[in-house]
Amino acid sequence: MAHLKGARADGGQRFALYRGNLTATWDKTLANAYPVLRQLVGEEFFGGLSRAYGMAHPSENADLNRFGAHFGAFLDTFPHAAGLPYLPDMARLEWALHRAHYAPSAAPLGAAELAALTPQQLERASLRLHPACALFESDWAVVALWRAHQDGAGAAFPTEMREPGYALVLRPQWKTRVLALGRAEHAALSALAAGDSFGAALDAAFDIEPQFELGAHLGRWMEHGLFVAIGLAAEPG
């Protein structure tokens, strides 16, 4: 009987060690993907979040870089985070950055390729965004809060969190970035991301901002290498 008790004790110790290693892995993996969120809630609370998330969403893939995919949705319903209602959107922004880091590479379109289109062709054209690009919007000042936490950014903390924000996550020269957008610019890029024509994208922007400056925005998009392919619809018969 003594040897059975010893075996049970050894088994319990091994399980406790395994569980400790597992929770440490959860915490390290999520901390890598969500550094700003971890700063916002503190190390101890983040550790509790990691354990609760790991129990609710155990990893189903050998690639731990995918482990935090449901963190934003998890925070939507996690009662202990209800006092910071912008946390789920911060998680979504940081996950978009995390995904952008691992997105495949693609050569951006050059200005000459767009210039080769007639105005009629450009209006009907669809422009495919770079695989690393992801559009983001929130009812909270999440973009400004994220920027304020970046070393060397010199960005001020938002004075009011209940303020909508829009952004594009991108990866020029292999370094992920968050590009703040206006609502009209976000609407135009969202239309392009959905496969709509360039003309439809402009309509979406002009509906929000009649003075939307096409030349300035298109120049900015090309400068950041947002587009990787042109699709031309057939001319109306």
**Model confidence pLDDT, tens digit, residues 160-170:** 999 999 999 99
pLDDT, tens digit (0-9, with 9 covering 90-100), for 15-61: 344 455 678 899 999 999 999 999 999 999 999 999 999 999 987 77
Tokens of 115: 């210039």
Q: Which two tokens stand for residue 21?
A: 């290693």
Question: Per-block average pLDDT, block size 10, for the chain (237 residues)?
Answer: 48 47 88 97 96 89 86 96 97 98 95 94 97 98 97 88 97 92 99 98 98 96 97 74
**First and final C-alpha spacing in the chain:** 89
Q: What are phi and psi of 174, to 5 degrees?
A: 65, 15
* CA dist., res. 51 & res. 58, Å (int): 10
Angle at 207 between CA 205 and CA 210, to 5 degrees: 80
- Chain centroid, CA 64 distance in Å: 17
Residue 232, pLDDT score: 87
Q: What is the 8-class DSSP label of residue 62?
A: S
Nearest to 170 by CA among 93, 230, 110: 93
- Selection from 209, 111, 230, 223 nearest residue 177 by Cα: 223
Asked if 70 contacts 30 with a C-beta cutoff of 8 angstroms, the reply is no
